[in-house]
Amino acid sequence: MASADNLVWIDCEMTGLNPYLPPKDLKQGEDFLPDRILEIACIVTNKDLEPLDDGVEFIVKTEKDVLDRMNEWCIKQHGKTGLTQACLDATHSMEQVDALVAAYVAKHFPTNAPALLAGNSVHADRAFINKDLPQLASKLHYRILDVSSIKELGRRWYPQLGWQSKKDEAEHRALADIKASINELRYYRQHLFKPIEPRR
């Protein structure tokens, strides 16, 4: 059901974490090729963190030379998860993925209600969305719900809970990581946010 109280959970896998800034070691005359989105998944939940459907997941068709320029961590990790090969085999362009995810988000929110973006360290995903997926970016609220902020406060204020992050063993595939983030926030809601009795 479309509602302004829904949450749009997004996770992206990228070629790296630098959407805008040229690296310091860029030599004069070398082209700066910013990192880009390889995969995006999106699930919309209601305000009680219940998914409204199975969500969507798309892999962006990516040229081999782009993948070969990834940093060492991404080459190893995306190779291990199968994402690198999936990008070579994919059929969706960045523009097509942008339109498809934007349409998915739009159906879950009222026409004039921007979608509140949720996820772990989701400001990083938002930077890439702003650059690579302008249609989707136009659907999103300027505020975000960052599960990492709640985790860091809980770790400092309630150390007795242990604070083994629910996402420390991330798979680094977009859909699995979103589901882990939703479960993580459910855990924090149960242990950190106590119900308030209604006023009489």
Tell me the catalytic residues: 172
- Residue 103: left if φ>0, alpha if ψ -120 to 50, beta else—which one? alpha
CA–CA–CA angle 189, 193, 199 (5° rounding): 130
Give the DSSP H/E element, type plus range, for residue 180: helix 174-192
Q: What are the two backbone dihedrals, phi and then psi, of residue 92, each rounded to the nearest 5 degrees?
A: -90, 130
Residue type, 6: N
- What is the widest separation between alpha-carbon atoms in the chain? 70
Q: Are strands 37-45 and 115-119 parallel, antiparallel or unpaired?
A: unpaired
Interior/surface letters 45-76, b for 16+ CB within 10 angstroms, e for the rest: beeeeeebeebbbbbbbbeeeebeebeeebee
- Would you call 3 exposed, middle or buried from its count of C-beta atoms within 10 A (0-12, 13-18, 19+)? middle
